[in-house]
Structure 1
Amino acid sequence: MKKRLPAYRNLSVFLIALLSMTFVLAGCGANNANQAADAGPSENAAADANSKPTSGDAGGKEIRIGYQKYGTVNILKAKGTLDKRLEAEGYNVTWTEFPGGPQLLEALNVGSIDIGHTGEAPPIFAQAAKAPLVYLAHEPASPNSEGILVPKDSKIASLADLKGKKIALNKGSNVHYLLVKALEKAGVDYNDITTVFLPPGDARVAFENGTVDAWVIWDPFLAAAQTATDGKLLTDGKDLVSNVEFYLASRKFAEANGPVIDIFKEELDKIDKWAEANQKDVAALLSPQLGIDVPSLELAANRRGYGLLPIDDSILDAQQKIADTFLSLKLIPDAIQVKDATLK
């Protein structure tokens, strides 16, 4: 991509201000309306942190888990197996849903939750903002589980056609990285598009009413939009990004609660194995929980990877490449070492 640095330099200043104050993750090109619309999540996370007891040492016997509308954690919650196992150990599990990874890690940063899951990009921004997080484990790459969607009657036929268009995405999320890589592949300057930062629910409305020209989104929201709107998939993440789901915790909690972390990972692994072999059952189980139709959830389940994997040098190297890419684009202010966000 060419002629990008000035805009990213301005973005970097904007990101630092937001991240240091409220841990609201930002990307490029946000306008004042976007900033105002996104004020809520930060305030809510801070309010939750002030109103709920801290369980960094599990002294209150409460384990607070943040989750999103995708992945194994949803199934784990719906099946109730983790709750039962931890209850037997004297713990109570509380669950809080978030619209995306940036919002979830914001809550982890301010102490509202202990454990959560996100894609690749949010932890990079979070670590750059000095959030005290650690990687616990991860799922296999699922590049087909996110993509760039355009309306069925859109004249946009290629990535190059995105030039000059309005594109909706959740700021600081995995799909932000997908958008960067997709534009890079097409030779489109990031400054030649307009980003509209919206959480998934609001982005779906904007996509359907034509306020935006394209939507960069992940499953199951991607699958639901494809099913309901017949939207055209301009590209998915294949050959562009890996799209790995990570499990993370606050460092304080992880260091003080090794046995709880072990139980969490063991139950995730069990659920992963069951889910891979029972994808129709997964869709039926999650549909009433998530408010998403069964066909959409089947589509999402069929194109994601399964199997809990440890944090090793190869996955840390992959994350480091993303961090270095963001640094080169001035999306993060300083170099980070991803390996610093691991348990020693």
Structure 2
Amino acid sequence: MSTTRRSLLLQAGLSMAALSLAGIGRARGAAPRTIRIGYQRYGTLIILKHTGTLEVELAKTGDRVAWSEFPAGPQMLQAMGAGAIDFGITGDAPPIFAQAASNRIVYIAAEPKAPYGEAIIVPKTSTIKDVAGLRGKTVALNRASNVHWLLLAALSKAGLTMADIKPVFLTPGSARPAFDSGRLDAWAIWDPYLSSVQTASDPRVIASAGDLVGNRQFFLADRHFADANPDLIRLLMAQVNRSDAWSEAHKDQVSQYLASDTGLPVPVVRKAVDRLTFGALPLTPDVVAEQQAIADAFLAQHLIPGRLTVQDAVWKLPA
């Protein structure tokens, strides 16, 4: 494990331990609770689901977990906003749109940056050499997802806006055949779909997160659930950190797990896993400022209806 990642995991452990020490006990004989967790077929929470440690710990308090799969972050947060799930993890953009829609969703913690886990790609034979070459071109992306922000930031750096391209809003499953058949000029996409298409056809990367965006993942919860069940949030995050530490040391096994879920070959998944980052970190002022910059950029493009303050959605442990 690198010194940087070891430091991040140590910070995460200390921050979650602080939450635990500040916690409120639960009365004996209280009715069992169920925490409803949304997950995707790739990333931190599905690894936690595979390990089974959360179920073991919840059983000690008589509580349970119910898992629900989602194709991407925007759909997950729509479900959370409707009260259908209590907890999940998404990239940086979905929480902005969710907060713009209601005050129900709160940030619990953040993962370290993963700058090479998303990219804008063009076919290997394309004449497009850089982002400036996307003017007037058809670009696929999943609306309100992390790559929505990547694309917006990349276009801005090239002196373009979304109005200068022809965006096509597609889920990864629909975008892949369109990209492979040549019906798209470019595709903004994340891992493991990115590693899959890179292995299959070696497309050209014209922009990755790199120095453009942080590409963080955020742990999010229903505000009402978190406020009513701070002990469950603490327990869950402790198991996330336990699972993350194990994942960092067992990437071969993690790749096997995720290959079985995604249906992708193990070498493809391992390429994506090597670009994953692990560890739950607190919402520091710098991280909140990153999210605020995204919100302000989306507002400037009229993608959200009004200005929002990200700090208002950062969860605070009840006194």
Please say whether Structure 1 and Structure 2 have the same fold, judged by a TM-score greater than 0.5: yes
| Partner residue in 2 for 1:179 | 151
| Partner residue in 1 for 2:186 | 214
Deviation at 1:189, TM superposition (A): 3.4
Deviation at 1:179, TM superposition (A): 0.4
Match of 2:271 among 299, 305, 323: 299
How many residue pairs align between the two structures?
287
| Partner residue in 1 for 2:223 | 251
| Partner residue in 1 for 2:239 | 267
Q: Comparing 246-255 with 324-333, which one deviates more in the overlay?
A: 324-333
| Partner residue in 2 for 1:69 | 41
Q: Comparing 193-202 with 293-302, which one deviates more in the overlay?
A: 293-302
Q: Is the 8 A contact 1:121 1:174 kept in 2?
A: yes
Equivalent position SS for 2:116: helix
> Cα RMSD between the aligned structures?
1.5
Q: Is the 8 A contact 2:42 2:262 kept in 1?
A: no
Aligned equivalents of 1:267, 1:170: Cα separation in 2: 30
Q: Is the 8 A contact 2:32 2:62 kept in 1?
A: no
Instruction: Please give the per-residue CA displacement for 1:276-333, whole angstroms capped at 9, x wherever unaligned.
Output: 2222221012211222221121111111222210122221121111111112222212
Equivalent position SS for 1:94: strand
Q: Does 1:225 align with 2:197?
A: yes
Gaps of 5+ in 2: 1-29
Gaps of 5+ in 1: 1-57
Structure-2 change in CA distance of 1:132 and 1:59 (3 Å): farther
Q: Comparing 259-268 with 74-83, which one deviates more in the overlay?
A: 74-83
Aligned equivalents of 1:144, 1:89: Cα separation in 2: 40
Structure-2 change in CA distance of 1:131 and 1:206 (3 Å): farther
Deviation at 1:238, TM superposition (A): 0.3
Instruction: Please give the per-residue CA displacement for 1:103-151, whole angstroms capped at 9, x wherever unaligned.
Output: 0000000111110110111101110111401111110011111001112
Structure-2 change in CA distance of 1:59 and 1:333 (3 Å): farther
| Runs of 4+ in structure 1 over 6 Å off | none
Deviation at 1:61, TM superposition (A): 2.2
Aligned equivalents of 1:261, 1:312: Cα separation in 2: 18
Q: Does 1:198 align with 2:198?
A: no
| Partner residue in 2 for 1:42 | none
Aligned equivalents of 2:267, 2:200: Cα separation in 1: 10
Q: Comparing 80-89 with 329-338, which one deviates more in the overlay?
A: 80-89
Aligned equivalents of 2:315, 2:159: Cα separation in 1: 39
Q: Which amino acid aligns with 1:167?
A: V
Equivalent position SS for 2:267: helix
Q: Does 1:279 align with 2:251?
A: yes
Q: Which amino acid aligns with 1:311?
A: L
Aligned equivalents of 2:172, 2:243: Cα separation in 1: 26
Q: Which amino acid aligns with 1:245?
A: Q
- The 5 A counterparts of 1:317-332 are 317-332=289-304
Aligned equivalents of 1:59, 1:340: Cα separation in 2: 31
Percentage of matched positions with identical amino acids = 48
Aligned equivalents of 1:309, 1:250: Cα separation in 2: 19
Aligned equivalents of 1:179, 1:271: Cα separation in 2: 31
- The 5 A counterparts of 1:1-344 are 61-344=33-316
